[in-house]
Every structure is written in structure tokens, then in C-alpha cells.
Amino acid sequence: MSMYHRELPQGYIIKNTLPVHAEGLGELQRIVFPTLSPEETLQERH
């Protein structure tokens, strides 16, 4: 898989999702989608 990384002038960074991001993304999913079950949220095992 090719890795993508781009920094935009506004300070945003666009890049591939990595296992290290799983915990934070799972927390974001719980906040944004509170009705998801734990099995439906992103976890490091995915």
C-alpha cells in the first residue's frame, strides 16, 4: 500500500489511517455517533 501524506496551507494534514490512530478515532466515533455499539466502532484490532 502506498502511504499518502499532504500538508495543506491551512495547517490540515491528510494522510492514511494507521493503527496508532485507532484509539482517537474510536473515541471520536463514540462522540459523533453515540448510538453505535462498541463492536461497531473503530478499534486497533481492525
Q: Looking up cell 474510536, which residue turns up? A: 26
Q: Which residues contact residue 33 at a Cβ distance below 8 angstroms, ignoring those fewer than 6 apart?
A: 41
Where in the chain does DSSP place strands (E)? 5-7, 13-15
Q: So what's the pLDDT on residue 34?
A: 94
Q: So what's the pLDDT on residue 23?
A: 87
Which grid cell sits at 29? 466515533
Dihedrals φ, ψ of 5, to 5°? -150, 120
Greater pLDDT, 37 or 1: 37
Could you read off the pLDDT of 2-46 as tens digits, one per residue?
899 999 999 999 999 888 888 898 899 999 999 999 888 877 665
